[in-house]
Amino acid sequence: MKPCSVTVSTECSLAHCDASPFLNFSFGASSSQRSSCLSNNISVGRFYRNNSLFSTRATTHVPPKYNIVASFPEKISPAKVLRHILELPGVHQGPACFDALSAKLVEKAGFSYCFTSGFSISAARLALPDTGFISYGEMVDQGQQITQAVLIPVIGDGDNGYGNAMNVKRTVKGYIKAGFAGIILEDQVSPKACGHTRGRRVVSREEAVMKIKAAIDARNESGSDIVIVARTDSRQALSLDESLWRSRAFADAGADVLFIDALASKDEMKAFCEISPVVPKMANMLEGGGKTPILNPLELEELGYKLVAYPLSLIGVSIQAMQDSLTAIKGGRIPPPGSMPSFEEIKEILGFNTYYEEEKRYATRQLSSEKGGNSYGIQPMARDDTSRRGQSSQDPIVEVITPEVYTNSGADRSGGAFSGIWSRTLRIKITGRDGFEKLDVRIPAGFLDGITNVVPALGGVNIKELLDDAAEEVGGKILLDFKDTMGDRIQVFLE
């Protein structure tokens, strides 16, 4: 445990303490002073760092110059965070996401947790209805991408567990490994039907309860604390009384949260919240017209709900926005201002600026030139308009050094085998590891000092010695043939 101290003024918000996602607060004062603090509406306990959670209990009136000491464990599991959300007063809203981006937007909007929606994932990933098409493997894969994109806990839609009790165990263990904080398991038969739609059928009471027990066993075997949300669709498939019976049985079996889908009235919702009162209840506010009345969070809290899901908002507005944008583009326009974020805002959402800042930590000296050269250091020459006529803008511009301007020692045509080298040409060819040609140039064979400007990988190679050995040969010779550290093949020929 690592302690940290935060000195707070008479009125403050604990949300400003950014030491950990999850903190234990205590006061550095005597018991009488702590009692005084508590009488001033100070909540001493656990807080999650997310702003929406802090807004519930964190803004307090604290006597001047009291020290709040925060201690926290090294790592908090998402399930542990979700369980403490369930302990907080009030109802907690959770929009349903369908991919990593939508989950990130939920988090950035300040929500303390979110759901995954099987309906929305089936729509976004397969463009198919939520009628059992999407598989366990696809849901786990999508879920892992979602949980890795955010810090807030995510409750995964586990459908009917994708089979019998043994399949349920595999599903729960897979969702734990994927990083989910909770899993919703329903009692529908296979293939399942989407909530609030026709054709829903449920398994027997015994099988439904046994699946919840199997889920709890899988959690215990994994050493996890994943939250089990037990859902029944029997209200629509059979009756309200049957759904209430099953919910009680799920609570007795050890479910952490209860959920009856498609309750048809406020009275039915109230009756549901009155059973097994110590077990949190979940509401599903199906936007756009489902069977359950749409109530605001305060009304849901009064009824006794703890969690509330909004399954269609994000996928629904995304579909509408894409349709509107496509209509605009087809009409020769672009989406109007205000209908989409600016490019800069999109980059900020996706973390470009954060990436650039972190990238600086690992910056190294690159071979590529920032002054207009390519990755092998060839610099374009300044050319007048006349020299550009008739040349494509895609043609490479290579500076060729002639004997007349090369006066360095050893290149002066005087005596020895090397003196005749100016009549020969060095051809440098570079083929990328993808098989495409990157470079093919010819330079005077005496231009040794400048060859590393063309190909830095040749630095340290004694080209003069290789030329001495090959200068008297007729018909050309390959001097070098190797792969550099980037995997490119570099060949040097004497022609």
Task: Go through 131-161 and write b for each residue having 16 or more CB atoms within 10 A of its CB, e for each that does not.
Answer: ebebebeebbebbbebbebbebbbbbbbbbb
pLDDT of residue 175: 98
Separation of alpha carbons 289 and 235, rounded Å: 17
The tally of CA atoms less than 13 A away on the side-chain side of residue 198 is: 0
Mean pLDDT of 249-266: 97
pLDDT band at 433 (very low <50, low <70, confident <90, very high): confident
| Structural contact between residues 79 and 224, judged by C-beta atoms closer than 8 angstroms | yes
| Structural contact between residues 307 and 257, judged by C-beta atoms closer than 8 angstroms | yes
Sign of CA dihedral 14, 18, 22, 23: negative
Mean residue pLDDT across the chain: 78
pLDDT of residue 17: 39
pLDDT of residue 415: 46
More confident residue, 273 or 13: 273
Mean pLDDT of 33-49: 37
Residue 378 pLDDT greater than 50, yes or no:
no
